[in-house]
Structure 1
Amino acid sequence: MTDPHGPRTTPAPEDDLPEQMRVRREKRERLLGSGRAAYPAAVPRTHTLAEVRATYDPQGLEPDTRTGDVVSVVGRVIHTRNTGKLCFVRLREGDGTELQAMLSLADLGEEALDEYKHLVDIGDYISVTGEVITSRRGELSVQATAWEMAAKALRPLPTEHKPLSPEARVRQRYLDMIVNPESRRMVRTKAAVLKSLRRTLDERGYVEVETPILQLTNGGAAARPFRTHLNAFDQPMLLRIALELDLKKAMIGGVDKVYEIGRTFRNEGLDSTHAAEFSMLEAYEAFGDLETMKELVRALVVDAARAVGRTVVTGRNGEEIDLEQPWRSASLLDLVSEAVGTPVSMETPLDELVKLADAREVELQPQWNAGEVLLELYEQLVEDTLVQPTFVEDYPEAVRPLAKPHRSKAGLVEAFDLIINGVELAPAYTELNDPVIQRDRLVEQSLLAAKGDPEAMELDEAFLRAMEHGMPPAGGMGLGVDRLVMLLTGAGIRETILFPLLRPE
């Protein structure tokens, strides 16, 4: 029999391979020579390991019980013990479920048992067919009458004597998932969070859509974009930095409650809370406002926490954060005033704000206006001190060009950032829907971009044209999905992203 999935010969000289890989390649050759496939297209499998456990564990079978039920199961070999005429094999499947298989001389015969002993390694996938029993020690097991190789592993798994380094855990996430149950749980936790976010929005009548990742202009956020080129149009293009503008176009078109969960890209620094490519949820509701978004954001976060069983999490310095408790709202100006020890407002002269920043070693850019200085004071002195859930609201107009002017506070807009555990989790606005004011603000942004500000938004005529057809009053929000998973698990952002971007080896 030949292996339909590859040649028998190795692609590299044997002398160039590590010893374990050389031994495993030799076993592959011997498998093929014995008539067994190393990578068959299919192997016997009637039950998952989880299904076997779900069927028999609740029965509380006594030791040395034979059920009379024959199954075929498949798993990765994670441990094997050879006692001569009997081999004990620990199998594991993708969700972490484990089950013992017992391969005996009496049931398999000398040839099949000998082949198992000499051809199977830790890390291989095998199929085992046999009766479901309990061992003399009461261990639920499959008493094998046949086995087949499902996939031969040519590289060894990490061991407790040679574990993965922290860098390798991220770079070789698949290995990390094989050997570390918390990494396998992270994948399912994030999936549960995504499912919960969609369920919360769907139950409220929101419609999920998809919008383009390739953009002609950068809008919807202050961020540095990635640049690329569309050969078909001979056109420079950008990867989107936000989902906002296209979702608003959908709302203008009549999708009154609209959302998207999608990948966004920002060509900026990487640290424990920032990634170049990340998952974002944005939602917009016609005839909603900032208060509507407060209720929605809280529901999204609390529902996700309940979905993964983590409504109480540990914050900085061990502080307990009970997400079910009421969340507070606080004015950015009040928070900055408290931090600097003197009242500040939109009427505070720029030079006084600069002096306050200099006294606290807060670095500023010389071209910044008063609103931008106030924002920097908040971000440097206040944000990371807010451990309990806080809606920080009333932002200066200059730093939130897509938000509606405040109904009662001059110079401010109706906007908030939700901060939990010192990290911005979800910004939201009462959305600006006056196309004349929006054009003026985007023109200001485009002038900053023309002067070299890499994060300034560009003038998006297609978006403005859509607004000029009539955009309803609306509330809108964005939520960093990866940061929400960070909050609920205590992990860093690289651990929440399955395959994060890394420097080349």
Structure 2
Amino acid sequence: MFDNELEQVRIAKKDELKSLGVNPYPQFLKRGMSIAQFREKFAFIKDLAEGEKKADEIVTLSGRLKLKRVAGKSTFANIEDDSGNIQVYYSLGSIGEEEYAKFKKNLEVGDIAQITGYAFITQTGEFSIHASKIVLASKALSPLPEKFHGLSDTEIRYRKRYLDMIMNGDVRDDFIKRAKIISGIRKFFEERGFLEVETPMMHPIAGGANARPFITHHNTLDVDFYLKIAPELYLKRLIVGGMNAIFEMNRCFRNEGMDLTHNPEFTSIEFYWAWHDYFEVMDLTEELFSFLIDSLNLPKILPYGELEIDFSKKFRRIKYLDALHEIGGIPNEIINDKSRILDKLKADGFEANSKLDLGHLQAELFDNYVESKLINPTFIIDFPISISPLSRRSDENPEIAERFELFIAGKELANAFNELNDPLDQYERFKAQIDAKNAGDDEAHEMDEDYCQALGYAMPPTAGWGLGVDRLVMLLLNKQSIRDVILFPAMRPKKD
């Protein structure tokens, strides 16, 4: 480690600084003014008369050295903090001969320094800080890449996010915006009377969603646990216990493939709302998007890649089976016929398991012919019951679940439904999921008898909702890969 030639040179310079009485890693330093504050406070000097373009007040700035150009007895540099960057000027005369010699040789790009001095305008018209004192705050042993910004090898950016953020201020800004989005979501629900709760990250049964779990082992109990794939069943237990409006924002884990919209570890939010229904949840979902777009000062017509997403209108609502015909172009005589669905999929080059029931085959039609066409915000409502094991059956049609999913830009962002609160029906649905697993559905839901028992104590009429926060951030920030909105995305181990 730190054994390449450039790093060895920097280590030698660090040692030389120590021999000169400079601690390359001091502790008790204070940041001082931010660069943005410095620019704002002393902006007036730009309007002063020639020969007077400087401020009297001495201030301290802190930042990473991003550029250094030595011109004999003077040096021009640039430092950057999380608010911006500023040119630094120092000379033999301004910081003293001994200090100048020390830092002329040993202060390098990548080092973090504190600059004390005053604001002034250079002869070339550059707003700068004229240094009277320099303190090394942290010596960088690894040199920054010269052409890192815009590097085509994005894998390096994801593996070394810290380096990505050092070299690309836009990346830092994106994650600041992500934090604001998450904060805004919390504010939105709290202002509407929802209580944030926490449920276990390790589950004895992989439940709450159709997904393959990660498995871990607890040594003391000598039992396997599953990392949370969804908090749903625990949250609904809390509704049984008397909490009427709750939400949880937390990490979930699914042992599945990775692509532009999937990471094995991701952030989701789920809420459950007693005495409300899925139509009211649709209304609340629209309110949330409006709230976030307004709070981030985003346009109502939002760019996303080559698309434009229209948030200025009410979200479209269309029934699942109607969408197969009206959006997917599937003839009505095919939609409810298993053999014809299989023939259609095969003819168009899609694979489908002939053991799947009608609802799952209709889902194959939806995934292949409808989903990618849902560009503007669209609620797909009333799903087949067999692919909705936790949803309430429709009173009008028991083969339909009172459920919706929200699609934007051809991607699912949210899933919601009127919650099934009949314990016997729930038990039979779990049994049907076991049959589906035996038929080859690796993501089918496990049996959870304790949850059925909880429902036996009666859960009030409730609607629930889950949303992928990472996909939401992708949408709002116009990012095409989930890795661009996760600080440290999962990566294949690097080969030596």
TM-score range, shorter chain: over 0.9
The equivalent residue for 2:110 is 123
Q: How far 1:44 moved relative to its partner?
A: 4.9
The equivalent residue for 1:188 is 176
Q: Letter of the aligned partner of 2:106 in structure 1?
A: L
8 Å Cα contact 1:132-1:142 kept in structure 2: yes
Q: How far 1:489 moved relative to its partner?
A: 1.9
User: Which residue, 319, 339, 355 being the options, matches 1:351?
Assistant: 339
Distance 1:132 1:44, change over 3 A: farther
Residues 70-127 of structure 1 deviation map (CA, whole Å, 9 limit, x = unaligned): 11221000012222222122110124x1122221222211111111110011110001
Q: Letter of the aligned partner of 1:279 in structure 2?
A: T
Q: Percent identity?
A: 35
The equivalent residue for 2:349 is 361
Distance 1:132 1:468, change over 3 A: same
User: Which residue, 226, 229, 235 being the options, matches 1:241?
Assistant: 229
The equivalent residue for 1:23 is 9
CA distance in 1, matches of 2:148, 2:340: 60
Residues 259-311 of structure 1 deviation map (CA, whole Å, 9 limit, x = unaligned): 01110000000001111010001111001111111012112222222232333
Could you say what secondary structure the match of 2:237 adopts?
Answer: helix
Q: Letter of the aligned partner of 1:489 in structure 2?
A: L
Q: Pairwise mapping of residues 372-411 of structure 1 onto structure 2 (< 5 A)?
A: 372-411=360-399
Q: How far 1:460 moved relative to its partner?
A: 1.4
The equivalent residue for 2:26 is 40
The equivalent residue for 1:71 is 59
Q: Letter of the aligned partner of 2:214 in structure 1?
A: F
RMSD: 2.0
Distance 1:401 1:59, change over 3 A: farther
The total of aligned residue pairs comes to 488
CA distance in 1, matches of 2:116, 2:454: 63
The equivalent residue for 1:144 is 131
Could you say what secondary structure the match of 2:56 adopts?
Answer: strand
Q: Letter of the aligned partner of 1:234 in structure 2?
A: D
- Larger mean Cα displacement after TM superposition, 491-500 or 455-464: 455-464
Could you say what secondary structure the match of 1:45 adopts?
Answer: coil
CA distance in 2, matches of 1:450, 1:354: 20
Could you say what secondary structure the match of 1:30 adopts?
Answer: helix
Residues 376-431 of structure 1 deviation map (CA, whole Å, 9 limit, x = unaligned): 10011110111111101110000001111113234101111100000001011011
- Larger mean Cα displacement after TM superposition, 102-111 or 223-232: 102-111
The equivalent residue for 2:156 is 168
Q: Letter of the aligned partner of 1:237 in structure 2?
A: F
The equivalent residue for 2:482 is 493
Q: Letter of the aligned partner of 2:58 in structure 1?
A: V
Q: Letter of the aligned partner of 2:109 in structure 1?
A: I
Distance 1:429 1:452, change over 3 A: same
Residues 325-356 of structure 1 deviation map (CA, whole Å, 9 limit, x = unaligned): 2210111111212434411588x232232223
Give structure 1 stretches of 5+ with no counterpart: 1-10
The equivalent residue for 2:287 is 299
The equivalent residue for 1:342 is 331
8 Å Cα contact 1:68-1:131 kept in structure 2: yes
8 Å Cα contact 1:192-1:304 kept in structure 2: no
The equivalent residue for 1:8 is none
8 Å Cα contact 1:44-1:72 kept in structure 2: no
CA distance in 2, matches of 1:482, 1:377: 26
Give structure 2 stretches of 5+ with no counterpart: none
8 Å Cα contact 1:336-1:344 kept in structure 2: no
User: Which residue, 82, 93, 96 being the options, matches 1:109?
Assistant: 96
What TM-score do you get using the length of structure 2 for normalisation? 0.94
Q: How far 1:135 moved relative to its partner?
A: 2.8
Could you say what secondary structure the match of 1:309 adopts?
Answer: coil
The equivalent residue for 2:445 is 457
Q: Letter of the aligned partner of 2:302 in structure 1?
A: V
The equivalent residue for 2:77 is 89
- Larger mean Cα displacement after TM superposition, 57-66 or 128-137: 57-66
The equivalent residue for 2:268 is 280
The equivalent residue for 2:86 is 99
- Larger mean Cα displacement after TM superposition, 77-86 or 158-167: 158-167
CA distance in 2, matches of 1:253, 1:58: 62
The equivalent residue for 2:303 is 314
Could you say what secondary structure the match of 1:295 adopts?
Answer: helix
The equivalent residue for 2:241 is 253
Residues 413-472 of structure 1 deviation map (CA, whole Å, 9 limit, x = unaligned): 111110000000101101111111111111222344466643111111222222111111
CA distance in 1, matches of 2:9, 2:333: 72
CA distance in 1, matches of 2:30, 2:436: 65
CA distance in 2, matches of 1:200, 1:45: 33
CA distance in 1, matches of 2:149, 2:455: 60
CA distance in 2, matches of 1:188, 1:161: 21
User: Is 1:153 aligned to 2:140, yes or no?
Assistant: yes
8 Å Cα contact 1:396-1:413 kept in structure 2: yes
Distance 1:361 1:162, change over 3 A: closer
8 Å Cα contact 1:44-1:127 kept in structure 2: no
Could you say what secondary structure the match of 1:67 adopts?
Answer: coil
Q: Pairwise mapping of residues 207-226 of structure 1 onto structure 2 (< 5 A)?
A: 207-226=195-214
8 Å Cα contact 1:61-1:138 kept in structure 2: no
Distance 1:223 1:29, change over 3 A: same
Could you say what secondary structure the match of 1:373 adopts?
Answer: helix
Q: How far 1:59 moved relative to its partner?
A: 6.6
Distance 1:169 1:45, change over 3 A: closer
CA distance in 2, matches of 1:410, 1:461: 23
User: Which residue, 451, 466, 480 being the options, matches 2:454?
Assistant: 466
8 Å Cα contact 1:333-1:344 kept in structure 2: no
Could you say what secondary structure the match of 2:362 adopts?
Answer: helix
Q: Pairwise mapping of residues 405-424 of structure 1 onto structure 2 (< 5 A)?
A: 405-424=393-412
Q: How far 1:212 moved relative to its partner?
A: 0.7
Distance 1:256 1:162, change over 3 A: closer
Distance 1:344 1:313, change over 3 A: farther
Q: How far 1:163 moved relative to its partner?
A: 6.4
